[in-house]
Amino acid sequence: MDEFVSRMATQRYVLNAVNSKITSNEELFGLSSNAIERWAIANQLGPKSELVRLLRQVSSELFFMATHSQEPVSAEYELRRQRIVDSVSALENAV
């Protein structure tokens, strides 16, 4: 459950970073693939957008953690945890 709270906090952090710094036609509603796709279209960001790529990366890592976080800690789990930190940092620089 603490992992769940932690993932919610990470989502909030990323969404606020994007929504507070980017003047857009529509806010980013969430980090699901559908929400990212809608936001990219609303803001005319193409498939080559670095920001969209980073958002998809964070989203992918968070979803992985959501379904695997309670399993015995593996090397991949730790690697992905670090990837989230790195992706969020890169995303902050990109916005």
Partner 1 sequence: MMHIYAFGSVCRGDISFESDIDLLALVNGRDLRLDPDKFSIYSYERISELWRAGNAFAWHLALESKLIYSEDGRDFIHDLGMPSKYVNAADDCRRFREIFEAALSSVKKGTPSLVFELSTIFLSIRNIATCFSLAKLPNPTFGRDSARKLGSRSIPLTDATYSILMRARILSIRAMGDDISKENTSKIIDELENCRFWINKLCKEVGANG
Binding site for partner 1 (CB under 8 A): 1, 4-5, 8-9, 11-12, 15-16, 19-20, 26-30, 32-35, 37-38, 60, 63-64, 66-68, 70-71
Please, which residue, 32 or 89, has the CB nearer to partner 1? 32
Least distance from partner 1 to the Cβ atom of residue 33, Å: 5
Least distance from partner 1 to the Cβ atom of residue 85, Å: 20
Q: Per-residue DSSP letters for 36-89?
A: HHHHHHHTT--TT-HHHHHHHHHHHHHHHHHHHTTSPP-HHHHHHHHHHHHHHH
Distance of alpha carbon 85 from alpha carbon 80, whole angstroms: 9
Distance of alpha carbon 51 from alpha carbon 71, whole angstroms: 31
Please, which residue, 34 or 93, has the CB nearer to partner 1? 34
Please, which residue, 19 or 90, has the CB nearer to partner 1? 19
